Amino acid sequence: YYNNRRYHEAIDNLTPADVYHGRSEEVLSKREQIKKVTLEKRRRRNLQTSSITMYNS
């Protein structure tokens, strides 16, 4: 459990197993990609909501 599932803040919130097996760059790049997609979806949703609110006012 400790090495395979628990994320450690001192090693960029990766598991020790990810770092040991050399998967850290892969995991971090995947997180960054997910973050970009999520932020873009949130921006679109907020723009739609604000335009609807302005239209109904």
Query: Does 44 reside within a domain?
Result: yes
pTM score, whole prediction: 0.75
Instruction: Report whether 18 contacts 30 (CB < 8 A).
Output: no
Residue 52 lies in a domain: yes
Count of beta carbons in the 10 Å neighbourhood of residue 45: 10
Q: What is the pLDDT of residue 32?
A: 98
- The DSSP call for residue 8 is B
Q: Which domain holds residue 48?
A: 25-57
3-56 pLDDT, tens digit each: 899 999 999 999 999 999 999 999 999 999 999 999 999 999 998 887 777 666
Check residue 40 and give its pLDDT. 98
Domains in the chain, number: 1
Residue 42 in domain: yes
19 neighbors 11 (Cβ within 8 angstroms): yes
